[in-house]
Amino acid sequence: MDSVRDERKLLRYTYLLCLVCFGNLALLKQPFDKGALVFAAIICVLIGYSHFVIRRFYPDGDKYIFIFASILSVIGIMTLYRLEPSTAVKQLIWFALGVAAYIIIVVMLPDLKKYEKYKYFYLVMTIIFMGMALAIGSARYGSKNWVFIGSFSFQPSEMGKLFLTAYLASALKDYEDFKDLIEPAIVVMVCLGFVVLQKDLGTALIIFALSITILYISTSKFKYVLTALVLFIIGAFLSYKLFGHVRLRVMIWKNPWPYATDQSYQIVQSLIAIAWGGMFGTGLGYGFPKYIPVNISDFIFTVICEELGIVMGLGIIIIYFLLFYRCMRASIYVEDKFSRLLAVGYSAIIASQALVILGGVVNLIPLTGITLPLVSYGGTSMLITFASLGIIQKISEA
């Protein structure tokens, strides 16, 4: 997958996927839904123009990062259009803004090494965004991790993860011995404390995965990773004892069926829908997504598996793996350690977020309410994810 020819072939397949998906949605409605074709045209133009700009003016970087992200976005917008066309319109706008942010970062951002000295700026912004929801946030689906400003709402922890990654990369780029780990460890524990108090268990898992990945890459010492794992297990045990919502999630995870009409309704409906779809699905537009709770965000993967089958679900997982591989590949070839740790951190966030929510909806791990990156509805998540990928794209150009 290193030739320009293969890259263009994959881009053509992305256009074909978009046209086929939205063409099917157009045929499902009577009369013929021209709006679905308009969606397809807009998405193809956005992807094509963005790829042209990056390929034409910045030919040295990894263009597969953008293509894989676009494929996931196409699948997400298509599913949202099938569920709620009005929500799909919003997601399309956020997709356009995300793509714009991606291009702006690649075009405008200078050498990232210049930003390694702003460690304490990243630290302050991390604490502000991680603690914001605890101070002025509102609860949604049991977690106090949303901030509302008029009609606009966002999850400040999404921004917090970006700044936390930059802080850890800046703090650990010059690692020499154990004392260099004390301050970053305190910052990570404070961030974990904030999100646990917000009952945002998904973000807590992502912060831990991010921190432990950067810790190992920067130190190459497995004993530190093992120590962090032991501390995390102790923290998880204490959280289980202290917080009722943690005990509830674990109880549902262990055996959801006795509580199928109450506490575990979401996960039970998810498992039934995936089983009903089988290997190849009921067909696009022929499932029963209205019985799946929170189907535009947390359980959008369930909707896809019901109508397009487990095969499609496995395909999405493979695309995430390929996206993670290309992002990590960018970190291998860059010489600047700050940039390398940034690429590793942002890659770890995307991969761990996908694994946490995918594991939750099939009950492999306790369910946590986070979005599936680039697929679920969520403006903040879409914008931040594309910004992260834009930074990785810039690093791959080095």
> Per the domain annotation, does 363 fall within a domain?
no
> Per the domain annotation, does 282 fall within a domain?
no
pLDDT for 360 equals 92
Per-residue pLDDT tens over the stretch 276-316: 999 999 999 899 999 999 899 889 999 999 999 999 999 99
CB proximity list for 144: less than 8 A, separation 6 or greater = 133, 134, 137, 138, 198, 199, 200
pLDDT for 142 equals 64
User: At which residue do the structure tokens 């997400």 appear?
Assistant: 76
> Per the domain annotation, does 173 fall within a domain?
yes
> Per the domain annotation, does 170 fall within a domain?
yes
> Per the domain annotation, does 236 fall within a domain?
yes
pLDDT for 1 equals 46
The range of the structural domain enclosing residue 127 comes to: 111-242
Residue 103 burial (C-beta neighbours within 10 Å; 0-12, 13-18, 19+): buried
Q: How far is Cα 291 from Cα 277, in angstroms, rounded to an integer?
A: 14
Q: How far is Cα 33 from Cα 25, in angstroms, rounded to an integer?
A: 8
Could you give the 3-state DSSP secondary structure of residue 209? helix
Q: What are the backbone dihedrals phi and psi of residue 121, each rounded to the nearest 5 degrees, phi first?
A: -65, -45
pLDDT for 150 equals 74
Could you give the 3-state DSSP secondary structure of residue 41? helix
Q: How far is Cα 229 from Cα 234, in angstroms, rounded to an integer?
A: 9
Per-residue pLDDT tens over the stretch 171-227: 999 888 888 999 999 999 999 999 888 888 888 999 999 999 999 999 989 999 999
Which residues of the chain fall short of a pLDDT of 50?
1
pLDDT for 141 equals 65
> Per the domain annotation, does 32 fall within a domain?
no
> Per the domain annotation, does 221 fall within a domain?
yes
pLDDT for 138 equals 78
> Per the domain annotation, does 169 fall within a domain?
yes
How many domains would you assign to the chain? 1
Question: Do 344 and 328 contact (CB within 8 A), yes or no?
Answer: yes
